Structure formats: structure tokens, C-alpha cells
Amino acid sequence: MSHQFHPTVLREYDIRGIIGETLGPDDARAIGRGFATLLKRAGGNRVAVGYDGRVSSPTLEHALVEGLNASGCDVVRIGLGPTPMLYFAEASAEDVDGGIQITGSHNPANYNGFKMVFQGRPFFGADILKIGEMAAAGDWDDGSGTHESRDVEDAYIDALMKPFDGLSAGEMDKLSSLRIGWDAGNGAAGPCLGKLVARLPGEHFTLFTEVDGNFPNHHPDPTEEKNLADLKTLVAEKNLDFGVAFDGDGDRIGAIDGTGRVIWGDQLLMIYAEDLLKYLPGATIIADVKASRALYDSVAKNGGEPLMWKTGHSLIKSKMKETGSPLAGEMSGHVFFADQYYGYDDALYGGVRLILASARLGKSVTDLRSAMPDMINTPEMRFQVDESRKFAVIDEVKARLADSTDDVNDTDGVRVTSDDGWWLLRASNTQDVLVARAESDSEAGLERLMGQIDDQLAASGLERGPQAGH
């Protein structure tokens, strides 16, 4: 028996497709067979499985469990919940060797997919390609595993509350005056959020905590400002201190301050880092190549070691393990806490740490946001390029910049820093697009940087032209 996946489904960081078109129960079963076979061969035996609130998720979960069992792995089913709850189930249980979350993340309602952890490490890139090769060859071990249900939600909420344990009565008192808004976006984090805010100090107002895989109120992607409109209204109407929003599976955080200004992923990381470096001086803080120069400067100014790394949650997690970094983040709102936590990206925990950072630094979130330098930057620009050309174009740009007097960083694509600021050009690992971004402290500087991007594209026979969607 063998299985062929649709060519678009096996991606760099996860497995993802459109239900009924490129992804279905047979794919889920094949993923289970391949993952279980690899885990058994590596000496593992038990896999935790969770799923998000999409309409298609229960069907995929059933087929995935069948596949895992058919290749001899036992399954711990944790049910509906955010991706970080699945990560928690895998990281905290001694009897679990791997984890799979069925989730379409921040994608439209007709998408779904799989995020995986293998013996405590991210499962991505070559691992995912291996699942495809094994399916095509029918290279699966046979067995008969068991499955059981396990309720981990309360233990997960306990873990989210743990950072408050060390606070004095006076500090907890200070937190009791906080008033915070939360937007779960009808995503999988809703039920956990309800339980969390019932235990948090302060007064809390929640939006869209009912799980609804059709996302009737707004699309659950907090990195797009239009999706924060309801949260902004709530914060303004109730005169709240700040607001927090989640994506569809609760591993990416978005935030606004008390005046409704967006606090982007790299700006959140600035706040978390300033707090952490007070008690872990000299720590390495990792951010992706799309992050603002203001972040790297802030980390250095506060006594930390800033490290620029490749975009992609799996790549960042791997680099954290390698360097022993206690904190990392991406522009996309993935923030990873290994300090007092497990090292994975968890937006609910990110909300807790934002409350604590504000308290420990003795400043409101609005004041922390106001203290940041006003940089002028472009949104992330994506434009179509033939799959066969996208990495070649980046190589051509690198070659042309070999003798440049500007600072050229080729960690992930090309990031060029000059007196005007910086610009970035990189190939997406998941789509046939090039991604560009630029940042300056003046409009004129930004204009010049954009001109440099256009010049490089033109030299490779491309133009910025129409932008591709996510």
C-alpha cells in the first residue's frame, strides 16, 4: 500500500492544504503511518494528538489516529485546543515521545494542516519530505497501537499561571488594577482563554471566545491590522490598558496599547527582552531577519546579545536549543519563551508575560510602546516569481553585492544595512514568492532603500509589480 500527496501540501515548516481539494482523510492516515514508523524506529512509542476548531479537524484527527495506530504507536488524544496546549502535552508528559496538532493556523476556513514535534524537537524540512517519500514507497511498519483520551487543559492553565507564583502580595495588588481586552477570534484558544482570565489578576474583557471554524467575526490573523478593529473598539470603549489577540490556533500573538496603536511582533519582543534582561543579563535574544533594527539596538542597550536568524518557527526553535537562548521571536507574532517555560511559541503565555513585563518594569504597556523609536517601514511585500527562479535571484543579488560598502547579511536571503536604514529580500520557503521589506527613520531614506530593491530586481529581470497574497 502506498500514498501520493498533492505536490503543494508538504511544506517547509508544516503540512497544509485545502480540504477536499489538496488535503483529506487519506493524507492524514498516511501522515500517521509515516510519523509512527519514524518514531518507532527512533525508539519512541506514544504520540499526543490535538486539533483546532476547524470544521474539518475532527475528521482528520480520526484518520490520523488510525494511521498512527496502524503503524504501532499508541495515541494520547487531548481533543480540541490551541497548538501550544498540544506542545505542552508533549513537553510535560514523561510518557509521550511526539506530538501532532491538526490546524490550519491563520489560514482561511477551508484550509487545514499538521504541526509536529518529534522527541522534543521541531519536525520540519527534510523530516516532512521523508513522510512523502515513505508514503510513495509504502515504507510503513505495521502494528496495532492503542488510543486514550487525556484532559490536559487544567494542567496547561496551571502552567500559564506559574510565573505569578513568585510575586509578592504588593506586586499582585498592583496587577489587580489592570484592565485588559482579549480577542480569541473564534479560534481554538477561546475555551483556554476563558479559564485563564478567570484566574488572572485584574479585570478582563473577552471577544469571540466561542470556537467557530467558519470565523464569522473576522479572520484570525493578528498580524493584519484590519483584524484588530474589534479589539481596538473594545479597548477604546472600555478605556482598557491594552489588548491582546490570537491567531486561529493560539501560537501567534498580536497586541495593541491603550491608545489603539499596534504593537508588532518585534516590538513585543523588545518589551519581553527588556524585562528578561533585568534578571538574565547577557542573555542571547534571537529575532528573525524581518525584525526592526530598533529591536537589535534595544537588546544590546539593555545588556543582551542580539542574534539575527532565519524566518520560520521551526528554524528559530532549533537555533534556541543550539544557543541556549531563553527568548526569541518573529515579526509574525511567534514568540518563544524558554525562560521559566518550555521554549515553544504560545500566545496565551505571551499575554501573561506582557502583564508581568509591564508590572516588573513599572511602566504601562502604552508607555513602553511610546518609548520605542518611530521607524518608518514597509509592510511585508510579497511578489510572485517562478519557483525555479526564487533562490537563484537571491544568489544573483548576493553576487552583485559582494563588493558593497554597506553591511550585507546573508543569514536568510539578503539584508542590507546602510545610513538610510535597511532593506531585505528573501525567498519564501513555503510559496513561489520573494519577500521584501525596508525600514528607515525618514520617508526620503525609505524611498532610497526601495529604489535599491527595485534596482536589484530589475538586474535579475524582475519588477516589484503586483504583490502576491499570503
Cell numbers that stand for 108 in this block: 482561511
The contacts of residue 53 (CB under 8 Å, 6+ apart) are 80, 186, 187, 188, 190, 211, 212, 213, 248
d(CA 70, CA 145): 7
Do residues 160 and 39 make contact, with C-beta atoms less than 8 angstroms apart? Answer: no
For 226-253, b/e burial (b = at least 16 CB within 10 A) is ebbebbbebbeeeebbbbbbbbbbbbbb
d(CA 38, CA 141): 9
Measured CA angle at 87 (ends 148, 119), to 5 deg: 80
Measured CA angle at 245 (ends 312, 173), to 5 deg: 115
From the candidates 56, 71, 105, 292, which is the catalytic residue?
A: 105
d(CA 86, CA 49): 7
- 87 backbone dihedrals φ, ψ, rounded to 5°: -60, -40
Do residues 85 and 152 make contact, with C-beta atoms less than 8 angstroms apart? Answer: yes
CB neighbourhood size of 374 (10 A):
7
**Beta bridge mates, 459:** none
CB neighbourhood size of 456 (10 A):
21
Cell numbers that stand for 270 in this block: 523588545
Do residues 423 and 417 make contact, with C-beta atoms less than 8 angstroms apart? Answer: no
Q: Is 130 exposed, middle or buried (0-12, 13-18, 19+ CB in 10 A)?
A: middle
Verify whether residue 314 is a known catalytic residue.
Answer: no
Active site residues: 105
